[in-house]
Chains A and B, each alone.
Chain A
Amino acid sequence: MNAARVGVITFPGSLDDRDAARAVRLAGAEAVSLWHADHDLRGVDAVILPGGFSYGDYLRAGAISRFAPLMEELVPAARAGLPVLGICNGFQVLCESHLLPGALLPNAGLHFVCRDQRLRIDNADTAWTAEYTEGQEVVIPVKNRDGRYVADERTLAELEDEGRVVARYLDLNPNGSLNDIAGICNEAGNVVGLMPHPEHAVESLTGPSTDGLGFFTSLVKAGLSRAGVR
């Protein structure tokens, strides 16, 4: 069985695409570079939108990336079930694209926050969290300026009722996110947005833990292979 091929999109201003690709390889999958200006998903089995400041965060974080040519391919593929993980800036792009509800606004404290953050995995049924158990606590770095998750009351209630809050901040809320939300998923569970950076917690040499690796091995556990979903 061939390893799953996981695409990592590079936008102008992406910072963590290489780290994400490295995490994919450490998880035993093949990382495939995708370029924002192409109309080609290169037949990948899953896609990661990495952290960074795509298009300089001009206008709003993710607002311009949403209209990148590759997004015209990604949005229908994600709606059809392709596993997609947006990390930090990638989460912002997924919200701006309306693949995920709500939006991410400047941190309530107005400071860029960079810390090792304790989180609780509240949904271990998504394509990206199957490796965890529900309620599992992990430590994963968070580093953002626009990480405050907001949504209207009805959307928040839906997310809570349907168990679509994937991860929640513990100890302290670094950005004023409503309901301490660190990550959410779409109704089908194939699209996940996460503000903290699991790709920075995959090796003990460079991260506070290896707790983030599960986001990347979950795909493998879910039996995703080239013969798998597509």
Chain B
Amino acid sequence: MARVVVDVMLKPEILDPQGQAIARKLPQMGFEGVTEVRQGKRFELELAGPADEAALERVRQIAGTLLANPVIETFEVRVLDE
């Protein structure tokens, strides 16, 4: 069994008003020095077998067809340490 993480982020050129709202709040809370916030999504997938190359390729297919919309988002796949 292995746990694989898929991080999904909006492409840099896409406006992220939710991230902007978070960034605007920070100074009001006393947190200075943050110039930008981008909000993304993290998915954790529990695999039945090992995270070998075939399994990771399946995860990349899952990420590219369902978890992320490649028109607006990018994704990264990585295996969590046991």
A interface residues with partner B (beta carbon < 8 Å): 59-60, 63-64, 67, 95-96, 101-103, 105-110, 148, 150-152, 176
> Which residues of the partner chain A approach B13 to less than 8 Å between Cβ atoms?
152
Chain B 1-35 per-residue mask, 1 if CB under 8 angstroms from chain A, else 0: 00000000000011101100100000000000000
The interface residues of chain B, by DSSP majority, are classed as loop
Choose from A67, A108, A151 the contact partner of B15 (Cβ within 8 Å): A108
Selected from A63, A108, A150, the residue in CB contact (under 8 A) with B66 is A63
When chains A and B are docked, how far (Å) is the Cα of A176 from the Cα of B17? 10
Whether, in the assembled complex, B69 has its beta carbon less than 8 Å from a beta carbon of chain A, the answer is yes
Q: In the complex, A130 Cα to B60 Cα: how many Å?
A: 43
Given contacts A59-B67, A63-B66, contact A105 B21 (CB under 8 A): no
Q: Range of interface residues on chain B?
A: 10 to 19
Tell whether A103 pairs with B72 under 8 Å between CB atoms, given A108-B17, A150-B14.
yes
Task: Specify which chain A residues have a CB less than 8 angstroms from the CB of B18 in the assembled complex.
Answer: 106, 110
Say if the beta carbon of B71 comes within 8 Å of chain A: yes
In the complex, are the beta carbons of A67 and B66 less than 8 A apart? yes
CB-CB nearest in chain A for B65: A67
Distance in angstroms from A72 CB to nearest chain B CB is 14
Q: How far is the CA of A110 from the CA of B19 in the complex (A)?
A: 11
A83 to B21, CA, bound (A): 40
The contact of A60 among B14, B15, B69, by CB within 8 Å, is: B69
A-side contacts of B69, CB under 8 Å: 60, 63, 96, 103
Q: Which 9 A-B pairs have the closest CB atoms?
A: A103-B72, A103-B71, A110-B17, A108-B17, A103-B69, A60-B69, A150-B14, A150-B72, A110-B21
Beyond A105-B15, A148-B15, A150-B15, 12 additional contacts (C-beta under 8 Å) are A59-B67, A60-B69, A67-B66, A102-B71, A103-B72, A105-B14, A106-B18, A107-B17, A108-B17, A109-B17, A152-B71, A176-B17
User: Nearest chain A CB to B76's CB is how many angstroms away?
Assistant: 17
Known: A150-B14, A176-B15. A59 touches B71 (CB 8 A): no
In angstroms, Cα B18 to Cα A107, docked, is 10
Q: A110-B21, A176-B15 are in contact. Are A105 and B66 (CB under 8 A)?
A: no
Chain A residues within an 8 Å CB radius of B14: 105, 150
CA distance A151 to B15 in the complex (A): 11
A110 to B15, CA, bound (A): 12
A106 touching B66, Cβ below 8 Å: no
Looking at the assembled complex, report how far the CB atom of A100 sits from the nearest CB atom of chain B, in whole angstroms. 10
